[in-house]
Amino acid sequence: MEKRRLGRTGLEVSLIGMGGIPIQRVGNEAAAEILRAALAAGINFFDTARGYTDSEEKFGLVLGRQGPRPV
């Protein structure tokens, strides 16, 4: 996955990001599978918000266990 520097932060983010909408209406296991596939594809740029129901919790279940810090 190609990456770019995020402004002056020094962070390198994937050109493709993933939002929280696709995982808001699926169970935890399905959400984890989707997120693991995104990580395996090299995505490290994720967007979520309270409006996406419980997506923040689902992101946390998977991304909280990752080595390199997702953005």
DSSP class per residue in 57-70: HHHHHHHTT-SSPP
Write down the pLDDT at residue 52. Answer: 85
Residues ≥6 apart with Cβ < 8 Å to 62: 31, 32, 35, 36, 39
Domain boundaries, the chain: 3-63
Write down the pLDDT at residue 67. Answer: 60
Write down the pLDDT at residue 47. Answer: 92
pLDDT tens-place values along the chain, 71 residues long: 999 999 999 999 999 999 999 999 999 999 999 999 999 999 999 998 888 889 999 998 888 776 666 65
Write down the pLDDT at residue 7. Answer: 94
Write down the pLDDT at residue 71. Answer: 57
